[in-house]
Structure 1
């Protein structure tokens, strides 16, 4: 696929599911450390729920996480984060994430 400069057999993505303590650690670092490091951050989009209480967001630069050393990466990459909740509606999901201090736009 020449337009994307990739070849057959090359890894192009990864999916990770976090549960229990690792999930809570990731969410804590995301909300309290990584998101505040985003330049010109104005809040998370409150409309990014899927209709069933699950939330998706994109991160343009993986370097907002302090564990990633800038001089050890070949290029800046982004990632998508989907938070699957037990909420049945977007309102319930929004209330849950707001209680976890997710900084939604007003």
Structure 2
């Protein structure tokens, strides 16, 4: 967590969650671990230029450099060999207050997208909804991405309370 979010967490979110969830121990209160933005590039694994273009798109969107993830095993039906590039991942903590509110025609996040263990995931069909991206800048074939927010919460209700306290815009 960067300094601004960390001080906001300690000063306002911890007392709010302590009262709301009934915790007596400070260390039991759920925390935001990381936010991971990732994109699968399965169809582009034959072309290094498309992988680089996808890396540049996500770097423009997140202002951080991405990491290419490779396959762990070979799957003949998908023409996939071990250690071929299959995705791109970027870890960041600026999504909540900067990126989501600027999405064009954003109606809020679905509050049913928790995994049962305190993590929240959402998928975006294209990056064009972010104002930083324009149609001319997209060179890779896929423009969608997945975003996963990992917390230390043990239940979905705790994670929902934490993300709501961080002012995540959920649908009503």
State TM-score, norm by structure 1: 0.71
Separation in structure 2 between the aligned mates of residue 96 and residue 7 of structure 1, nearest angstrom: 38
List runs of 5+ in structure 1 lacking aligned partners: none
Q: Would you tell me which structure has more strand in proportion to its own residues? A: 2
Deviation (angstroms), 1:5: 5.1
List runs of 5+ in structure 2 lacking aligned partners: 1-41, 49-84
Counterpart pick for 1:60 among 111, 125, 131: 125
The aligned counterpart of 1:43 is 108
For the pair shown, which has the larger CA radius of gyration, 1 or 2? 2
**Pairwise mapping of residues 8-47 of structure 1 onto structure 2 (< 5 A)?**
8=46, 11-18=85-92, 23=93, 25-34=94-103, 37-38=104-105, 41-47=106-112
Deviation (angstroms), 1:103: 2.0
Alignment size in residue pairs = 94
Counterpart pick for 2:156 among 87, 90, 95: 90
Q: Would you tell me which structure has more helix in proportion to its own residues? A: 2
Deviation (angstroms), 1:90: 0.5
Separation in structure 1 between the aligned mates of residue 162 and residue 168 of structure 2, nearest angstrom: 9
Q: Contact between 1:85 and 1:93, CA under 8 Å: does it hold in 2?
A: yes
- Root mean square deviation of aligned Cα: 2.4
Separation in structure 2 between the aligned mates of residue 8 and residue 76 of structure 1, nearest angstrom: 14
